[in-house]
Amino acid sequence: MIILSNEYPSNIPGASRAPQGGPARFARDLSASLVANGHTWVGIQRVGTKSGPPKARFLGASKNRRFWEAKISYEAYKKITNAKSVKSPVKILRKEIDIIRFIIREEKPDLLFLNGFALHAWVLLRAAYEEGIPVVMQHAGIWKKEIQIYKDYFSQAGRRLMYAMERNLTDYGAHEIFLNDFSRKAYEALIGKVPKSHCHIIPLPMPISLCEVAKAPSKSAVKRIGIVARWDRIKNHPAFLAVAREAQKQKLTWEFHSVTRIPETNKMLALKNEYRKRVIVHGLMKTPKLAQFYRDMDLMLLPSKFDVSPHVILEAACQGTGTIISKNVGWVDEYRKTKNGIWIADFDKPKDVVKKMQKLMGKKQNSTFFTYVNKTHDPSRVHKQYLTLFAKVAG
């Protein structure tokens, strides 16, 4: 099979950047598994330009992986995000759709796999629909939820347009993958039902052998608390800061560490300045260094406003460090199912979070959690589920 997919900059051969976020790492690992099984992966990287017509450029090939660049101007997408009235997105983005149709005709893929959804993914979706290419979509998040959180960035008409564009996944007959039942329920409550024949639940893969790693309890009087998360509203860094502020108010001997990249802009400058003052900010890290970061922490926090199935929970657990999560993180079902409910916190109440942290400092989730993870998140098992679904959809 030839699988066409939206690609991430860190996965292009020669890239110097570390993968940013779960979707990029997932694309890297899934493509490697597919290639190892004799299939071809074709990635399309969207490159934003200030203006000008869209252009397609072949970037090269490496071991049954082929890569394209689709240059699409920010102005083209602003016609959607800042729309003054609700118009047909197909007409607005006709040229952009046709560029992807050109790539499809060149590569002749058996299916399109969308790894996450946004405007660029919709352009791929529409192009595949027009070319009669079947689509498989993995809901790494819920676009409507993200738009609502960032609603001040978009016009009212733009929001309505984008809400309808996400629903096109079902309208166009895509097979839709949810990472857990938590996200499926949230999606269907917010957007609409997905036909059972096209609805699939497949968890994220994780190199489970790492879960056998154990670490000795820290003897240091200074406890280290970490977060690994993009700098955005969804990951809720202000809540992490609020906990750090409360701990420092109580004069606890705790250090707060953050693996993120804070944009060098004046937006939310007061927050950024206080964050840098109270939190030790690290740059983005590649896998080996990140694994050591998890091991060095006594506790991890993830106060996200909405997070479907973040890798960081398992990555930290595999290094012997537990993570306290908000009730809006998809792992709540797994935590409760494996009797780890104590690891769920209300981050609107920093004092309560600090009390919970004092109980859980230096600990990790129970053995039942690891047994569950070993069973459901094994990469070979998960990748086989994807391969089986792809083969079925491609016919």
The 10s digit of each residue's pLDDT in 193-218 is 999 999 999 998 876 555 556 677 78
How far is Cα of residue 18 from the mean position of the Cα atoms in its chain?
14
Q: Are strands 65-73 and 55-62 parallel, antiparallel or unpaired?
A: antiparallel
Instruction: Report the percent of the chain where pLDDT is more than 90.
Output: 79
How does DSSP classify residue 218?
P
pLDDT tens column, 94-124: 999 999 999 999 999 999 999 999 999 999 9
Instruction: Indicate the average pLDDT of the chain.
Output: 93
Name the residue with tokens 């391969």.
387
Q: What element of type H or E holds 74? A: helix 74-81
Please answer whether residues 66 and 43 qualify as being in contact, where contact means their C-beta atoms are separated by less than 8 angstroms: yes
Check pLDDT > 70 for residue 315: yes
Rounding to the nearest 10 degrees, give the CA dihedral for residues 348, 353, 354, 358.
Answer: 180
pLDDT at 208: 55
Check pLDDT > 70 for residue 368: yes
pLDDT at 59: 93
Residue 380's identity, in one-letter code, is S
Domains of the chain: 2-205+378-394 (3.40.50.2000), 208-375 (3.40.50.2000)
pTM: 0.86
Name the residue with tokens 């490697």.
32
Q: What element of type H or E holds 149? A: helix 143-149
